[in-house]
A and B are shown apart, each in its own frame.
Chain A
Amino acid sequence: MKPLAYLSTVWHYLFSALLIALTTLFFFALRDFLDTTLVALLYLIPIGVITTTSGFTPGIISAVFSFFAFNYFFIKPYYTLAVHRPLDLVILTIFLVVSVVLSRLVGRAQAGLAAANAREREATQLYELSAALAGLHDEYTVAQILGRQVAALSQGEYLEVNITGSQPVHFSQPQGALPSRPPELTVPIQAARSTLGEILVWRSKPPISTGETRLIQTFASQAALALERARLAQAESRAKVLEESDRLKSAILSSVSHELRTPLSTIKAAASSLRGNEVGWDSPARVELIAAIDDESDHLNMLVGNLLDMSRIESGALKPKREWNILSEIVGSVTARMKYSAEEHKIEVDIPENLPFVPVDYVQMEQVFTNLISNSVKYAPADSLIRIRAGVEGECVRVQVSNQGPQIPPEHLERIFDKFYRINEVDRVTGTGLGLSICKGIIEAHGGKIWAENLRDGLAFNFTLPLTWEGSPPPQLPMDTEVE
């Protein structure tokens, strides 16, 4: 029944005409053997079939045509519409009445069935939509699902779903040019307090029925509910993020005000005593004080730099400016610069000569090595060894900075990369508590991984860096060998 129902109207009428014509032809061939009354009864069969398959109107029209055909071909005198016998007149009348009544009855039952089917389809579609929309927290997916469902329902030429708001969402199907005429149907997506968007449908043929309009409106209100739910969920998670960042900010403030004040107090004390002429011009204390001002302002500068780096990592603004670099050059310039701050430790660098180029940001990688080395310097005993090693491991370079400092309880190994993380509260080592989390931020921005590991006689920081950059492997350079 379903495929027939979709045949266009023309086909229904053609089918009806053909069926009546064939029936008439068949009865005409057997006219001499069939009784007129039997023919009248038999004509009811095709009329019933037509009403069932094609509906009420084709049924009535076929009934009327059958009436004339019956009269014309089967009631004497043949080939006229005149009726001579009164009995034939009775038969004709009864035939007309019965066929019309039959058409109406069957047609009504059909229409009822079709309506029930349509309602069931609507209910199913509505159910599918609300099931699909349940639990969605993302406006684009809502728009997408709504758009697909409306498209499946309306079968139009073009469809658009627009969702307004702080981040407008647009969905259209099919992809491509929008028709130049205005849409045939516009349904607002209406929430309790505001309009959240609209559904636009372009379908000129067949025109959109009231039933379809009503269903699309129901879809729109379902979508409105889903959107409100999504927005509420977003607002909630934003609130959580804000709360978290608020907590972080107060942690930063307390750490920072302490850390910044320490060098500032030294500088202030040294500068004011120099200014107040309390220290003699030739006194060795004068040199000490000046050195303290110089060192502490460097320290202060480093603290501010760390804070800036951290806020950049937090806000996602830390974008490595990659270039093909030689790792040993980076390590070399860091160890050269840290000659004084690491003078109590021995630094051993073991990086193979033929290590490929690594695609990294030179300045940021310097920062990573500086932080890892100064962390080792802080915790490892004087005169111990700090080793820096590197090697290729699969698609990556693996770097290890190890020291002979104290081990870390296994449960803290991951957390030492958290901001402001200290293994214990009495840990009086100075610093912002940001160094390792900055390393983590930089390494991850490069697509690598960083972790800490306890060694037999100390602690190691390991990290990996991908060797490929946008899919290309490290370059091989043609070397010139000619000597001038």
Chain B
Amino acid sequence: MSAEPHILVIDDELQIQRAIRTILTEKGFRVTTASSGEEGLALAAANEPDIIILDLGLPDMDGVEVCSRLREWTQTPIIILSVRDSERDKVGALDKGADDYLTKPFGIEELLARVRVALRHSAQKQGMQSKVVKAGDLTIDLVWHIVKRGEEEVKLTGTEYKLLAYLAANHGRVLTHQSILTHVWDPADADHTEYLRVYIRQLRKKLEADPERPQYILTEPGIGYRFIADE
């Protein structure tokens, strides 16, 4: 593996390929492109990239299927590209193992932020789990189960802490309703988004400066939630 991170872009639109390649190359990444699902799968197997950027609307096969076929053998982070209004596809791909998504059209800062988060998480999978997550004036100690706002400890119920810990451990990444519900509650509760809505509201009240305009726990409409921590 060469020094600069390698990114595989699977997208059939040449203009998007060109734009992403230009920008990411400029930012010091090595970029390979594929125009179809089959080609993408072959290149992923041959090159073992560090990150895969995958468009859901491919000509030859369903993006969600590409996602699950990749997940059969690799844990390489996958970032989904998709248009607005296809929340169902996005959630499908995320629940099939994709790590994050971007809605087209997207700004380049968003793309770079997703890439950074994905790289960090693939590093964490190799054992560098962060133990303390900092976000603004919040400190979340995942080892000692202590949450502080400034110097003051915040009292959380068991479920609130479990939820916050799951979000914070995956900070920067989108977590679908289903994955949160099965992880924090129980697989049997995967449909009860109302639990999640209530606990998120409680957490925001305890942690956010303005709970109506949250800075840390962000809603991803129709998809799930994302915890924003300091880089």
Could you tell me the distance in whole angstroms from the C-beta of A479 to the nearest C-beta in chain B? 8
Residues of B near A309 (CB, < 8 A) are 85
Complex: A416 Cα to B15 Cα, angstroms? 40
Q: Which of B107, B158, B195, B221 contacts A333 (CB 8 A)?
A: B221
Which residue, B84, B105, B194, B222, has most C-beta atoms of chain A within 10 A?
Answer: B194
How does the 8 Å CB contact mask read for A457-484 relative to B, with 1 for contact and 0 for none?
Answer: 0000000000000000001010111111
Residues of A near B88 (CB, < 8 A) are 321
> Are B198 and A326 in touch, CB under 8 angstroms?
yes
Of all chain B residues, the one with the shortest Cβ separation from A333 is B219
> Are A324 and B197 in touch, CB under 8 angstroms?
yes
Complex: A483 Cα to B87 Cα, angstroms? 36
Supposing A349-B212, A362-B221, A363-B221 touch, asked if A329 and B200 sit within 8 A by C-beta, the answer is yes
Of all chain A residues, the one with the shortest Cβ separation from B147 is A484
Complex: A131 Cα to B124 Cα, angstroms? 80
Could you tell me the distance in whole angstroms from the C-beta of B30 to the nearest C-beta in chain A? 27
How does the 8 Å CB contact mask read for B152-175 relative to A, with 1 for contact and 0 for none?
Answer: 000111110100000000000000
Could you tell me the distance in whole angstroms from the C-beta of B74 to the nearest C-beta in chain A? 31
Residues of A near B201 (CB, < 8 A) are 326, 328-329
Residues of B near A477 (CB, < 8 A) are 194-195, 198
Could you tell me the distance in whole angstroms from the C-beta of B110 to the nearest C-beta in chain A? 12
Residues of B near A366 (CB, < 8 A) are 221
Complex: A484 Cα to B87 Cα, angstroms? 36
Of all chain B residues, the one with the shortest Cβ separation from A304 is B84
Residues of A near B212 (CB, < 8 A) are 328, 331-332, 335-336, 349
Those of B81-139 within 8 Å (CB) of chain A = 84-85, 87-88, 105, 107
Could you tell me the distance in whole angstroms from the C-beta of A466 to the nearest C-beta in chain B? 16
Complex: A294 Cα to B161 Cα, angstroms? 40
> Are A329 and B219 in touch, CB under 8 angstroms?
yes
> Are A332 and B213 in touch, CB under 8 angstroms?
yes
Supposing A332-B214, A475-B194 touch, asked if A362 and B157 sit within 8 A by C-beta, the answer is no
Does A218 lie at the interface of the complex (its beta carbon under 8 Å from any beta carbon of B)?
no
Those of A304-361 within 8 Å (CB) of chain B = 305, 308-309, 321, 323-326, 328-329, 331-333, 335-336, 339, 349, 357, 361
Does B69 lie at the interface of the complex (its beta carbon under 8 Å from any beta carbon of A)?
no
Complex: A237 Cα to B27 Cα, angstroms? 60
> Are B197 and A482 in touch, CB under 8 angstroms?
no
Does B145 lie at the interface of the complex (its beta carbon under 8 Å from any beta carbon of A)?
yes
Could you tell me the distance in whole angstroms from the C-beta of A8 to the nearest C-beta in chain B? 65
Of all chain A residues, the one with the shortest Cβ separation from B84 is A305
Q: Which of B157, B194, B195, B222 contacts A484 (CB 8 A)?
A: B157
> Are A363 and B194 in touch, CB under 8 angstroms?
no
Residues of B near A328 (CB, < 8 A) are 201, 212
> Are A329 and B197 in touch, CB under 8 angstroms?
yes
Complex: A481 Cα to B157 Cα, angstroms? 6
Q: Which of A329, A363, A479, A480 contacts B222 (CB 8 A)?
A: A363
> Are B193 and A324 in touch, CB under 8 angstroms?
yes
Complex: A482 Cα to B155 Cα, angstroms? 10
Of all chain B residues, the one with the shortest Cβ separation from A476 is B194
Of all chain B residues, the one with the shortest Cβ separation from A359 is B194
> Are B145 and A484 in touch, CB under 8 angstroms?
yes
Residues of A near B145 (CB, < 8 A) are 484
Residues of B near A484 (CB, < 8 A) are 145, 155-158, 161
Supposing A332-B213, A349-B212 touch, asked if A483 and B157 sit within 8 A by C-beta, the answer is yes
Could you tell me the distance in whole angstroms from the C-beta of B86 to the nearest C-beta in chain A? 11
Those of B56-91 within 8 Å (CB) of chain A = 84-85, 87-88
Does A301 lie at the interface of the complex (its beta carbon under 8 Å from any beta carbon of B)?
yes
> Are B219 and A321 in touch, CB under 8 angstroms?
no
Residues of B near A357 (CB, < 8 A) are 194, 197
Complex: A305 Cα to B221 Cα, angstroms? 15
Could you tell me the distance in whole angstroms from the C-beta of B34 to the nearest C-beta in chain A? 26
Residues of B near A483 (CB, < 8 A) are 155-157
Complex: A335 Cα to B201 Cα, angstroms? 16
Supposing A332-B212, A362-B222, A477-B195 touch, asked if A301 and B157 sit within 8 A by C-beta, the answer is no
Complex: A328 Cα to B213 Cα, angstroms? 10
Those of B174-231 within 8 Å (CB) of chain A = 193-195, 197-198, 200-201, 211-214, 219, 221-222
Supposing A484-B157, A484-B161 touch, asked if A363 and B197 sit within 8 A by C-beta, the answer is no
Does A217 lie at the interface of the complex (its beta carbon under 8 Å from any beta carbon of B)?
no
Does A186 lie at the interface of the complex (its beta carbon under 8 Å from any beta carbon of B)?
no
Interface pairs A-B: 8 shortest CB-CB? A324-B194, A332-B212, A363-B222, A336-B213, A323-B193, A483-B155, A363-B221, A333-B219
Q: With A301-B105, A336-B213 given, name 17 new contacts (CB 8 A).
A: A294-B107, A297-B105, A305-B85, A308-B85, A309-B85, A321-B88, A321-B222, A324-B194, A326-B201, A328-B201, A357-B197, A362-B222, A479-B198, A480-B159, A482-B158, A483-B156, A484-B158
Q: Please list 18 pairs of residues, one from A and one from B, whose beta carbons are closer than 8 Å in the complex, sorted by A's number.
A: A301-B84, A309-B85, A321-B87, A325-B194, A329-B200, A329-B201, A335-B213, A336-B213, A349-B212, A357-B197, A362-B221, A362-B222, A363-B85, A477-B194, A477-B198, A480-B159, A482-B158, A484-B157
